[in-house]
C-alpha cells in the first residue's frame, strides 16, 4: 500500500462527519483519517464525548444492530439515529471504557480474558495425576454455550456466546463450581409491612398484574391481601423456600417454587456482568457471596485440586502475580502443547506490557479500578485478529504513572499498526505526543463549546492559539516554598494487600500527594490507613445513590431554595416545583424519560412524549420566576444559573452559595437538571467535592481528582485545593498528574514497583527534595517534567 493511498484526502480512508448536533455540538463538520491514532482534546464539557461516543460510536452501533436478523433486533433497544446529517466511512466501533466489569466474585481477571480457559486446557493435558478419563479438566465450554445462552454484550453491539465456569467432573459439589456460596438479605427481597397485592415483593419481574400474580393468587397458599409480617411460619416458608411443586392455575399446569430457589435458578446461575442492569442492581442489593468453605474459592473438587503441573495446582497458578505466572509458564516446555503455551505467554506478556503484571488471574473483577478494568478490556482486543475496527478509548491513562503511560502508548500504536482506527479522548500531553491527528473542541464548555477549534497534527495545535495549544507545553514549576504541616496522622504497620508493614506520617494542614506506579499500593494505603478515621472524608468517583430523577440541583440541595423562590413568587406550594412530588409529569413520574423494559436489555430511556422531557405537568410550567419556568431554570448550566440568581428579580443568596461551589470545582458547564446517571466518574467526584466544601470534614482524600480535566482546568483545581488548605483543611490526593505533584507541599512515594515489588514507602519529603534525590521512578519523571 503506497503512502499516497493512505493520505487523508482519499475519500475511502476517511470517516466523514457533517452537521453533528448531539448535546452541545454546533453542527460540526469533520474528516477523520482512518487507520490512524486521533486524540480528541478540549476542556471538560466542550463536547468530546458527545462527538466520539454520542455521535460516532452510537451510529456505528446502531448500524451494526440493523444487520442482525429481525428476531434478534426484537431484543435490542431501538436506537434512534444520533443528530447528525452525514456520517460516512464508519467501521465497527469497539468502546474500551472504564465501566467496571462486574461486582460478582465469580467474574475474575482470568474469566474475563481468555487466560483461564487456556490454563484449564493446559492442566487437562499436562497435569499429574491424570484424573478419571481426563474428565476433571474437560471444561465443557461447548455444552454450556450450547444452551442457547445468547447474550448481548453491552456497548459493543455484538452477540457473544458466553463461556461459563462449569467444570464437568472436576467441580466442587458444595458451590457447584462457582467458588462462592450465597446468602440473601430478606429485607431487600420484600417489604413485610405490605401484602402481595400491595407490591410487597421487590424482585424484578414479580408483578401482581403479571404471571407471578396469577400464580400467587391461584395457588391458594397465600392470602394476597395479608401483610407478609402476619404470615404463619409455614406460609413464609412456602413463599421463600418451597421446592418445585406442580399446581394448576386457570386450568394450566405450572411449577411453583419459592422465591429463593427461583432467584438462584434464574438469576444467580448467570455471570453478574451478563445481567441486565436492573437485575444486576437487584442481585447486588440482595445477595452476598462468600468464599466457598469446601474448595476455598478454587471451584474445584478434591481430585481436581490434587492435579498438579510442576508442583502447582490450578488454584495456586491462578493466585500467582501475573509476572510470576509468566515466568512459570516460560518454564514449561512440552512440544505437545507448544502452540497453546505460545498463546498463553503472549497474553501474559500483554498484561505486563500494559502495566497490569501485579494482578493475578484469581483477582475478582469487581475489585478492579476503572482504569484497570479498561486495560483488562484492552487485553481482550490485543490478541484479536480483527482489522479495520474503530477502537474508542476514554482517558486510557487514568490510574497510570508517567512511567506506565509509555507502555500504554506502545499498545495503542500496535492496535493502529494492525490496521485499526484508534480514537482517544485524553488530556495528558504524554498521550497527545503520539497522536497522528488531533481534534480540539471548544472554545469553552457547554453552550460556550461544541465547535472544532483545531484539527491537524500536534505542532499545528501548539501554534493554533487554542486553549489546549497554549497549555500543551505547560510545565509547572516547583514552588519556591512549601507550607509546613500543622500536625500529622500516623499510620503504623499497614499491611493491606501488598503493603509491607508501612509506617508513615501523613502531614496535616497541607496538600499531600501520594504517588507511585500503578499497583504500588496507593489505594491500599489510603483505604486501610485513612478511610474511616475520624474527620476523614474520602471523595471517590463511584456512582451516586439516588433515583433516576436525581440531578445536580437535587443532589446539592440547590433545588430547595429555588422551589421556595418559585412558590413565593407565585403564591403556591413549593412541592409543585420538584420533579419527584406533586408537580411531576404523570406519564414519566418526573424523570423526563420513560424506561422501556425489554426482554433482554432493560432500562432503555426514551424521551417522555407527555412532557417533552421536562418532567413537569404543563400547569406547573405556567409559573415563572424572573421570566423563566422551572424547566427552563433546570436547563441552565451552572455558570448561567449563577448569573441568573446573583442579581435582579431572581436574586437568591442560598442558591448562589451552592452554585459558586459547583463553579469552583470546574462544573460551571453542567446543567442543573442533567441526570446524575449521565455524569462521568470525574464529574461525579467533583460534584461530591462541591457538596463536601460546605461540610464539616477536616481531612479530604481524593483519588485522581484530575480525571477528566483539561490542562487548563487543572490549574483551577489546584487553586481550589489551595483554598481548602488555606481554610485549615488537610488535603491528601492520589495523583499521577505531574502538575499536581509539583504543586504539592509534601509527597509520599510508594514503590519501588507494583504488586509484591511495591508496597513500601520509597520517598517522603517535598517535591524539590524528590527531584533533587532522583532516587525513585517518580522523582526521575518529575525532574524531567519541571526541568
Please give the residue ranges that form the binding site for Zn ion (CB under 5 A).
Answer: 172, 174-175, 292, 294-295, 585, 587-588, 608, 610-611
Among 524, 617, 707, 778, binds ligand ADP (CB under 6 A): 524
- Minimum CB–partner distance for residue 24 and ligand ADP (Å): 4
Of 116-124, 221-229, 519-527, 595-603, which segment contacts ligand ADP by CB under 6 A? Answer: 519-527
Q: Going by C-beta distance under 8 Å and a sequence separation of 6 or more, which residues neighbour residue 687? A: 544, 552, 555, 556, 662, 665, 667, 670, 676, 679
| Binds 519: which of ligand ADP, Zn ion, none (CB < 5-8 Å by kind) | ligand ADP
**C-alpha gyration radius of the chain:** 28
The Cα 351–Cα 99 span in angstroms is: 19
Considering the complex, state which of residue 46 and residue 656 has its C-beta at the smaller distance from ligand ADP. Answer: 46
767 binds ligand ADP (CB under 6 A): no
- Which three cell numbers, joined as nine digits, stand for 259? 422465591
CB atoms within 10 A of CB 474: 12
Of 312-320, 358-366, 468-476, 615-623, which segment contacts ligand ADP by CB under 6 A? Answer: 358-366
| Binds 294: which of Zn ion, ligand ADP, none (CB < 5-8 Å by kind) | Zn ion
Among 60, 262, 498, 707, binds ligand ADP (CB under 6 A): 498
520 binds ligand ADP (CB under 6 A): yes
Among 13, 30, 39, 44, binds ligand ADP (CB under 6 A): 44
Among 20, 39, 50, 672, binds ligand ADP (CB under 6 A): 50
Considering the complex, state which of residue 612 and residue 784 has its C-beta at the smaller distance from Zn ion. Answer: 612
On whether the CB atoms of residues 598 and 590 are closer than 8 A, the answer is no
Among 519, 605, 613, 668, binds ligand ADP (CB under 6 A): 519
Q: How many angstroms separate the Cα of 493 from the Cα of each of 409, 498, 515, 520, 760?
A: 37, 12, 19, 16, 11
Considering the complex, state which of residue 522 and residue 688 has its C-beta at the smaller distance from ligand ADP. Answer: 522
Q: Going by C-beta distance under 8 Å and a sequence separation of 6 or more, which residues neighbour residue 414? A: 382
The Cα 332–Cα 413 span in angstroms is: 31
Interface map 396-435 toward ligand ADP (x if CB under 6 A): ----------------------------------------
Considering the complex, state which of residue 435 and residue 608 has its C-beta at the smaller distance from Zn ion. Answer: 608
516 binds ligand ADP (CB under 6 A): yes
Q: What is the DSSP string of 236-263?
A: HHHHHHPPPEEEEETTEEEEE--HHHHH
Query: How long is the chain?
Result: 787
Considering the complex, state which of residue 294 and residue 349 has its C-beta at the smaller distance from Zn ion. Answer: 294
444 binds ligand ADP (CB under 6 A): no
Which of 524, 522, 487 lies closest to 507, judged by CA?
487
Of 48-56, 177-185, 187-195, 273-281, which segment contacts ligand ADP by CB under 6 A? Answer: 48-56
The Cα 623–Cα 566 span in angstroms is: 8
> CB-side exposure of 30: number of CA atoms within 13 Å?
32
The Cα 254–Cα 436 span in angstroms is: 63
Rounded to 10°, the helix 338-353/115-126 angle is 150
- Minimum CB–partner distance for residue 293 and Zn ion (Å): 8
| Binds 565: which of Zn ion, ligand ADP, none (CB < 5-8 Å by kind) | none
Q: Going by C-beta distance under 8 Å and a sequence separation of 6 or more, which residues neighbour residue 47? A: 23, 24, 25, 28, 441, 449, 450, 451
| Binds 516: which of ligand ADP, Zn ion, none (CB < 5-8 Å by kind) | ligand ADP
- Which residues contact ligand ADP by CB under 6 A? 23-24, 42, 44-50, 358-359, 363, 367, 446, 497-498, 516, 518-524, 669-671, 674, 678, 755
Amino acid at each position: 500500500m503506497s503512502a499516497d493511498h493512505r493520505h487523508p484526502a482519499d475519500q475511502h480512508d476517511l470517516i466523514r462527519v457533517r452537521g453533528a448536533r448531539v448535546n452541545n455540538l454546533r453542527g460540526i463538520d469533520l474528516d477523520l483519517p482512518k487507520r490512524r491514532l486521533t486524540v480528541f482534546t478540549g476542556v471538560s464539557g466542550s463536547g468530546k464525548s458527545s462527538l466520539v461516543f454520542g455521535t460516532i460510536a452510537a451510529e456505528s452501533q446502531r448500524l451494526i444492530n440493523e444487520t442482525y436478523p429481525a428476531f434478534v433486533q426484537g431484543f435490542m433497544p431501538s436506537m434512534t439515529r444520533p443528530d447528525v446529517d452525514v456520517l460516512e466511512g464508519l467501521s465497527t466501533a469497539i468502546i474500551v471504557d472504564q465501566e467496571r466489569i462486574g461486582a460478582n466474585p465469580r467474574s475474575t481477571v482470568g474469566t474475563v480474558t481468555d487466560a483461564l480457559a487456556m490454563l484449564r486446557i493446559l492442566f487437562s493435558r499436562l497435569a499429574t495425576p491424570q484424573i478419571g478419563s481426563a474428565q476433571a479438566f474437560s471444561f465443557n465450554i461447548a455444552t454450556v454455550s450450547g444452551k442457547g445462552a445468547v447474550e448481548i454484550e453491552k456497548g459493543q453491539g455484538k452477540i457473544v456466546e458466553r463461556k461459563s465456569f462449569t467444570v464437568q467432573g472436576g467441580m466442587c459439589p458444595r458451590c457447584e463450581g462457582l467458588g462462592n456460596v450465597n446468602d440473601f438479605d430478606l429485607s431487600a427481597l420484600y417489604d413485610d409491612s405490605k401484602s402481595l397485592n400491595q407490591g410487597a415483593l421487590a424482585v424484578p419481574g414479580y408483578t401482581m398484574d403479571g404471571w407471578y400474580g396469577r400464580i400467587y393468587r391461584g395457588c391458594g397458599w397465600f392470602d394476597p391481601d395479608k401483610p407478609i409480617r402476619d404470615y404463619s411460619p409455614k406460609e413464609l416458608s412456602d413463599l421463600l423456600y418451597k421446592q418445585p411443586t406442580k399446581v394448576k392455575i386457570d386450568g394450566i399446569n405450572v411449577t411453583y417454587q419459592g422465591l429463593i430457589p427461583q432467584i438462584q435458578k434464574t438469576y444467580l446461575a448467570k455471570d453478574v456482568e451478563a445481567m441486565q442492569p436492573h437485575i444486576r442492581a437487584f442481585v447486588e442489593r440482595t445477595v452476598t457471596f462468600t468464599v466457598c468453605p469446601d474448595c476455598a474459592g478454587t471451584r474445584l473438587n478434591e481430585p481436581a485440586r490434587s492435579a498438579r503441573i510442576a508442583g502447582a495446582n490450578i488454584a495456586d497458578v491462578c493466585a500467582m502475580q501475573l509476572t510470576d505466572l509468566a515466568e512459570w509458564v516460560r518454564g514449561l516446555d512440552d512440544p505437545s502443547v507448544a502452540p497453546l503455551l505460545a498463546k498463553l505467554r503472549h497474553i501474559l506478556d500483554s498484561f505486563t506490557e500494559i502495566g497490569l503484571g501485579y494482578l493475578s488471574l484469581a483477582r475478582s473483577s469487581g475489585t478492579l479500578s476503572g482504569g484497570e478494568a479498561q486495560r483488562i478490556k484492552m487485553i481482550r482486543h490485543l490478541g484479536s485478529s480483527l482489522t479495520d475496527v474503530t477502537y474508542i478509548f476514554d482517558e486510557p491513562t487514568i490510574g497510570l504513572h508517567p512511567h506506565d503511560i509509555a507502555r500504554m502508548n506502545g499498545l495503542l500504536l500496535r492496535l493502529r499498526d494492525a490496521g485499526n482506527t484508534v480514537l482517544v479522548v485524553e488530556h495528558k500531553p504524554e498521550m497527545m505526543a503520539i497522536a497522528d491527528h488531533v481534534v480540539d473542541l471548544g472554545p469553552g464548555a457547554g453552550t460556550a463549546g461544541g465547535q472544532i477549534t483545531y484539527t491537524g497534527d500536534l505542532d499545528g495545535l501548539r501554534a493554533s492559539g487554542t486553549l489546549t495549544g497554549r497549555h500543551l507545553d505547560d510545565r509547572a514549576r516547583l514552588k519556591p516554598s512549601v507550607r509546613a504541616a500543622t500536625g500529622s496522622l500516623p499510620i503504623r504497620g499497614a499491611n493491606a494487600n501488598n503493603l509491607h508493614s508501612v509506617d508513615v506520617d501523613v502531614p496535616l494542614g497541607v496538600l499531600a500527594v501520594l504517588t507511585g506506579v500503578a499497583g504500588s499500593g496507593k489505594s491500599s494505603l489510603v483505604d486501610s490507613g485513612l478511610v474511616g478515621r475520624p474527620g476523614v472524608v474520602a471523595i471517590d468517583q463511584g456512582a451516586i445513590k439516588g433515583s433516576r430523577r436525581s440531578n445536580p440541583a437535587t443532589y446539592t440541595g440547590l433545588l430547595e431554595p429555588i422551589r421556595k423562590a418559585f412558590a413565593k413568587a407565585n403564591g403556591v406550594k413549593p412541592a409543585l416545583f420538584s420533579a419527584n412530588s406533586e408537580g411531576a409529569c404523570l406519564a414519566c413520574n418526573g424523570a423526563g424519560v420513560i424506561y422501556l423494559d425489554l426482554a433482554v436489555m432493560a432500562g432503555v430511556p426514551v424521551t417522555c412524549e407527555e412532557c417533552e422531557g421536562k418532567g413537569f405537568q404543563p400547569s406547573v410550567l405556567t409559573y415563572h420566576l424572573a421570566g423563566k419556568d422551572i424547566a427552563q431554570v433546570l436547563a441552565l448550566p451552572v455558570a448561567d444559573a449563577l448569573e441568573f440568581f446573583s442579581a435582579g428579580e431572581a436574586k437568591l443568596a442560598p442558591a448562589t452559595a451552592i452554585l459558586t461551589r459547583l463553579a469552583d470545582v470546574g462544573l460551571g458547564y453542567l446543567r442543573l437538571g442533567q441526570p446524575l446517571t449521565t455524569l462521568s466518574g470525574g464529574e461525579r467526584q467533583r460534584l461530591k467535592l462541591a457538596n463536601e466544601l460546605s461540610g464539616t470534614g477536616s481531612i479530604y482524600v481524593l483519588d485522581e481528582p484530575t480525571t477528566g480535566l483539561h490542562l487548563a482546568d487543572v490549574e483551577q483545581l489546584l487553586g481550589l485545593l489551595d483554598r481548602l488548605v488555606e481554610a485549615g483543611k488537610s488535603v491528601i490526593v492520589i495523583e499521577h498528574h505531574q502538575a499536581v505533584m509539583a504543586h504539592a507541599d509534601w509527597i509520599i512515594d510508594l514503590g519501588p514497583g507494583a504488586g509484591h515489588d511495591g508496597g513500601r514507602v520509597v520517598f517522603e519529603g517535598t517535591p524539590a527534595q524528590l527531584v533533587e534525590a532522583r532516587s525513585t521512578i517518580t522523582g526521575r519523571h518529575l525532574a524531567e517534567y519541571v526541568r
